[in-house]
Structure 1
Amino acid sequence: MTPRRLRLAPVLSTLALLLATLGAQPARAGLFDDEEARRQIRDTSFKVNDRIDALSKGQIDLVNQIVALREENARLHGQVETLTFELESAKKRQQDFYIDLDTRLRKLEPQAPSASSEAKPAEDGGGQAAEASPKPAGDPAAESREYESALNLFKANKIKEAGAAFAAFVKAHPDSTLAPSAQYWLGNAHYSLRDCKKAIDAHRVVVSKWPQHAKAPDALINVATCQQELGDDKGAKTTLNAVVIKYPGSPAAETAKQRLKK
């Protein structure tokens, strides 16, 4: 080997090594790019799985909440049905109590004459009638049958028919001893039909026309109840105070006092 070639050998070796190094850079870069892509895919996959897990857990929680709400709704529905039944039963017991009380009170009320009879005309001189015959009195037995018929309709929960029957009774027999009671039950019929305004008007007739009747204090209590349901708390309070003042010592007055304390 010549001296010149010996001098070029290290240079050629260095050049070859440099070229080999430059040629390996793209392959190594490609290898690094693939590894980074795989890492990103793995990270994205983990994130997607975590998101799916979170959504699945949220859906399960939502389903559990829906089931719990349905169970709570069913429980509350059952309670409403129970309370409705108890309320209807209480109303029925109260209705039966008042009807029984009404029957007892009517036995204590004075009765009208049993039948009407024509008055004998007083003769004056030539035998002419000096006075006209008085107006015939009502038939207590017939009135009692009409009243009982209306009351039985109310007891059978035929409220609309009962109200019409009581209204007809009061119109036909305004002077009957049963008229105050019929007017009172007319007010109760209106209240049962959820017409508080007509109920108030009917009960006020009892108080104004027959203020000393046994049902007058209860009629005022019913007026106060209707006023409260209509949102007239001030009017209800005034009515309850009137019960206490007008009918002291009565059961209605005690009821009024208790309600005024609330």
Structure 2
Amino acid sequence: MDLFKRRLRMGGSILLPLIFSSPLFADVPVVDLMAKPVKQSSGYVAKPQSVEQRLQILERKIGNDALIDLYQRLDALQVEVQQLRGLQEEQGHSLEGVKQRQRSLYVDLDQRINNLQKELKQLSVPVPAVAGSPLSQSIVDNNASGHGEGGGLAANGSAVANSGEGVAIGSTGVGVVVPVAPTTDGVVTANGAVATTTPPAPVNPLQEQSDYQKALDLLMAGSYEEAIAAFSSFLQYYPNGEYQMNAQYWLGEAYYVSRYFDQAIEAFSQVIADKTARKRPDAMLKSGYSFYEQKRWPECRELLQQLIADYPQSTAAGLAEQRLQMLRAANL
């Protein structure tokens, strides 16, 4: 009996929980764990930024502006560098042009010296000095021009008026004897007019050669102002002499080396006008050089091209071609 009661209590203890726990076996709702929960509007307001955060944002913005400014400065520097390079190239080209002109001048001078030496070798006749020649006293002392009331004194102390010569004082202060026709009384008026004149004496060929050589020696010695005066005097005294055209050319040369380019062009033009003159190609070359120095590019180009066309085999034509190449290289 006791055994039966114990088994009954044991069975009841097992069945009673099963009876009262039936809701536990109801359907359980399915939940999608992958679905995101939907937030409902709750009137969210952004949290105010702190001072530190604002400073950081401002620093980033300033940093961007500084970077942009740096790029702009770099671009400006690149432009300036390009401009400087262009100027450097232009200066280098100009310097090369100067060097080329110097080389051309040296070559031309050397050629002329050689030609002059050949001419001197051909002059084998000694030339005696003749007193009273128009260039025998071509250069007088500066102080001599102020002595006496009737005119200057030559170096030997004789009166210039009595020797048939006049004294011309140039801009350099150097007295140069300018020949005038001899007079019956030896008087020359203040304005250069001669009182009573007599026919001029015949030209002495030896004296003409001597006077020409003296003027040429002044030029070769670098006394350009005195050479200009001497050649001018020579051309006045021997207008139709044997050395007239050569003297005309060397007068232009003296003007050219003295950088009197207008006067040089005028002197060379008289040589160029004579198509039979032996110095014509050289006169055309130096006249073209004078135009070049004056930056008169069209006249320079035209004259040098004419020189090459007229004398294609001459040394002057080769130098003219070099100068034309310089003009083409500089787009002038």
TM range (shorter): 0.5 to 0.7
CA contact 1:183–1:206 (8 Å) conserved in 2: yes
Distance 1:79 1:256 in 2: 19
Q: For each residue in 1:193-241, what CA deviation from the matched residue of structure 2 results, as whole angstroms up to 9, or x when unmatched?
A: 5554433321232244x65332134324444565674523796389548
Which one is further off, 248-257 or 210-219?
Answer: 248-257
CA contact 1:112–1:177 (8 Å) conserved in 2: no
Aligned to 1:149: 217
CA contact 1:184–1:203 (8 Å) conserved in 2: yes
Distance 1:249 1:69 in 2: 42
Q: Alpha carbons of 1:179 and 1:77: their partners in 2 closer, same or farther (altered >3 Å)?
A: same
Aligned to 1:137: 204
Match for residue 180 of structure 1 among 225, 242, 245: 245
**Paired letter, 1:99:** I
Match for residue 118 of structure 2 among 104, 112, 115: 104
Q: Helix, strand or coil for the counterpart of 2:277?
A: coil
CA shift for structure 1 position 49: 0.8
Match for residue 90 of structure 1 among 82, 86, 104: 104
Distance 2:263 2:115 in 1: 24
CA contact 2:238–2:244 (8 Å) conserved in 1: yes
CA contact 2:228–2:254 (8 Å) conserved in 1: yes
CA contact 2:284–2:303 (8 Å) conserved in 1: no
Match for residue 276 of structure 2 among 208, 212, 217: 212
CA contact 2:288–2:303 (8 Å) conserved in 1: yes
CA shift for structure 1 position 146: 1.3
Runs of 4+ in 1 over 6 A off after TM superposition: 109-116, 256-260
Q: Alpha carbons of 1:162 and 1:89: their partners in 2 closer, same or farther (altered >3 Å)?
A: farther
CA shift for structure 1 position 50: 1.0
Q: Which runs of 5+ in 2 are unaligned?
A: 1-42, 131-198
Which one is further off, 41-50 or 178-187?
Answer: 41-50
More helix by share: 1
Amino-acid identity (%): 17
Aligned to 1:17: none
Aligned to 2:68: 54
Aligned to 2:228: 163
Q: Alpha carbons of 1:176 and 1:136: their partners in 2 closer, same or farther (altered >3 Å)?
A: closer
Which one is further off, 248-257 or 144-153?
Answer: 248-257
Cα RMSD, aligned residues only: 4.9
CA contact 1:115–1:137 (8 Å) conserved in 2: no
Distance 2:317 2:94 in 1: 31
Say if 2:314 is the partner of 1:251. Answer: yes
Distance 2:319 2:91 in 1: 34
Distance 1:252 1:134 in 2: 41
Q: Alpha carbons of 1:195 and 1:239: their partners in 2 closer, same or farther (altered >3 Å)?
A: farther
CA contact 1:204–1:219 (8 Å) conserved in 2: yes
Question: Which has the greater radius of gyration?
Answer: 2
